[in-house]
């Protein structure tokens, strides 16, 4: 009986080791690999009696290297490798033997220090595969002249190379020869926040975000994570809150570059620790890019204006077969706000983790996240019409039913964006009361309400 108990105890202990975890935690906020959260466009049916005539996409760049400040901080954490191993050898560590073996094999990638924020090979594959799936879903669109296509990135290496990868996947194996538009010094379609004084000063440079992050680091949950990591490693160096987050950074970056999506640096955390750390980015992005400010909501209108005008041009006999833009998580999250999706009934606060939240950057701000809109031309009994399908990360959304919005429904949803501009970005702009409260209704919401009221009045009269 004792032997059985000991065998069960050993088995239980081995199951707690990171290296042989059958289902390791997979959500790492804005550094989550695309394949973790995506659907597959090819699995969805084209509406009956319809054929796709135009595709419009907005894409975040793919997996990238950490930026300058993160590279510096994670390199300092990487220097603790020997201390972690020595702690295990001295009997002070709670890590498993095989996890320590993985630490011994691990080496610092020196190219990170000369290619900060650059797209990685993994990121190239993410965008290549998206382009390939669009080609396989709509092969008839990937033909014609170069004038039928338009591609534009922001002025960063990671978005430019993402555009190259996407076009490579889209045209691979075809005779199509297309080019990518030159980046614009000022791009108010896919990076309007860079040219918005109100955003730069009041939102990105405001005090609210830092207050929420300070509150997060003081929560009982985060302090528990900090103490657990210190105890688990058993190292003499005292770990600060910033050190804990740097451990998280080196964990999630390095794991995303391996085929099995594992890194020894992730062994320092439990799954619950990772869930607590995931929330930090959710709060940060909520207030910097999301519903935390009406400014973010309004900035998301600009790309949606381009989407509406692009499809309108196709319906009028002009326009492109495929139009694709390549931007950043900042822009993607502002677009989600403009569309009114992933919106909670409460404000995300740093001092309290909301477990059942819609705003989760692991799903809405991961690498290569995208909005794909498909304009379908339909013929029923000799009558032509149009239907629009909208996909987020290659999954169906609440924005339109799977059979697509009718053209009239699409107009009702998106025509309000046609008047979008950046007048509100001036610090002298008088803020309307409807925009004053963070997370409040935006002009898009009010326009939809007005349209609904007018429709009800019309039905009552007639």
Q: Provide the CA 169 distance to its chain's centre, in angstroms.
A: 21
CB-based contacts of 312: which residues, under 8 Å, 6+ apart?
319
Q: What is the DSSP string of 140-184?
A: GGS-S-GGGEEEEE-SSHHHHHHHHHHHHHHHTTS-----PPPPP
What letter does residue 431 receive in the DSSP assignment?
A: P
- Angle at the Cα of 434 (from 428 to 440), degrees rounded to 5? 115
**Active-site residue, from 35, 43, 61, 82:** 61
Cα separation, 31 vs 256, whole angstroms:
8
| Positive or negative torsion for Cα 107, 111, 113, 115 | negative
45: number of CA atoms within 13 Å, CB side?
Answer: 6
Give the list of residues 6+ apart from residue 381 with CB closer than 8 angstroms, or none.
none
Longest dimension (CA), the chain: 85
Tell me if residue 79 falls in helix, strand or coil: coil
Active-site annotation holds for 181: no
Quote the CA–CA distance of 409 and 416 in Å, as a whole number. 12
Quickly count: other Cβ atoms within 10 Å of residue 246's Cβ: 22
Decide: 330 and 192 in contact? Cβ < 8 Å.
no
Q: State the Cα–Cα distance between residues 429 and 324, nearest whole angstrom.
A: 32
List beta partners, residue 153. 326
Provide the 3-class DSSP secondary structure of residue 56: strand
Catalytic residue, candidates 214, 329, 345, 428: 329
Is 329 among the catalytic positions?
yes
DSSP category for residue 201: I
Catalytic residue set: 61, 329
């Amino acid at each position: 009986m004792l032997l059985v108990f000991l065998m069960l105890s050993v088995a239980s202990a081995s199951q707690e080791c990171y290296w042989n975890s059958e289902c390791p935690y997979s959500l790492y906020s804005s550094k989550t690999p695309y394949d973790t959260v995506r659907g597959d466009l090819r699995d969805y049916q084209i509406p009956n009696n319809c054929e796709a005539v135009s595709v419009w996409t907005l894409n975040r760049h793919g997996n990238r290297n950490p930026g300058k400040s993160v590279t510096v901080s994670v390199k300092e954490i990487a220097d603790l490798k020997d201390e972690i191993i020595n702690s295990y050898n001295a009997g002070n560590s709670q890590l498993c033997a095989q996890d320590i073996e993985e630490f011994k094999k691990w080496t610092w990638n020196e190219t990170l220090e000369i290619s900060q924020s650059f797209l990685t090979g993994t990121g190239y594959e993410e965008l290549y595969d998206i382009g390939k799936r669009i080609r396989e879903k709509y092969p008839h669109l990937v033909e014609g002249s170069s004038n039928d296509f338009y591609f534009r990135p922001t002025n960063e290496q990671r978005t430019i190379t993402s555009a190259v990868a996407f076009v490579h996947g889209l045209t691979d194996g075809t005779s199509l020869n297309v080019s990518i538009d030159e980046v614009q010094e000022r791009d108010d379609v896919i990076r309007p926040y860079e040219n918005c004084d109100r955003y730069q000063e009041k939102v990105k440079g405001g005090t609210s975000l830092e207050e929420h992050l300070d509150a997060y680091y003081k929560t009982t949950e985060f302090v528990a994570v900090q103490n657990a990591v210190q105890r688990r490693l058993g190292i003499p160096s005292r770990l600060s809150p910033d050190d804990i987050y740097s451990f998280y950074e080196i964990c999630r970056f390095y794991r995303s570059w391996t085929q099995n999506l594992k890194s020894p640096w992730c062994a320092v955390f439990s799954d619950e620790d990772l869930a607590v750390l995931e929330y930090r980015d959710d709060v940060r992005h909520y207030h910097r890019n999301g519903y935390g400010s009406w400014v973010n909501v309004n900035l998301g209108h600009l790309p949606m204006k381009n989407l509406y005008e692009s499809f309108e041009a196709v319906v009028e006999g002009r326009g492109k077969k495929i139009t694709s833009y390549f931007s950043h998580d900042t822009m993607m999250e502002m677009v989600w706000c403009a569309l009114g999706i992933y919106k909670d009934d409460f404000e995300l606060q740093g001092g309290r983790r909301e477990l059942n939240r819609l705003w989760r950057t692991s799903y809405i701000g991961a690498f290569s996240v995208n909005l794909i809109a498909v304009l379908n031309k339909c013929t029923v009994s000799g009558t032509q019409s149009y239907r629009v399908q909208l996909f987020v990360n290659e999954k169906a959304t609440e924005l339109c039913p799977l059979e697509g919005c009718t053209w009239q429904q699409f107009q009702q949803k998106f025509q309000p964006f046609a008047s979008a501009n950046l007048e509100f970005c001036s610090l002298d702009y008088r803020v309307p009361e409807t925009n004053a409260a963070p997370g409040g209704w935006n002009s898009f919401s009010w326009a939809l309400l007005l349209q609904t009221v007018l429709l009800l009045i019309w039905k009552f009269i007639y």
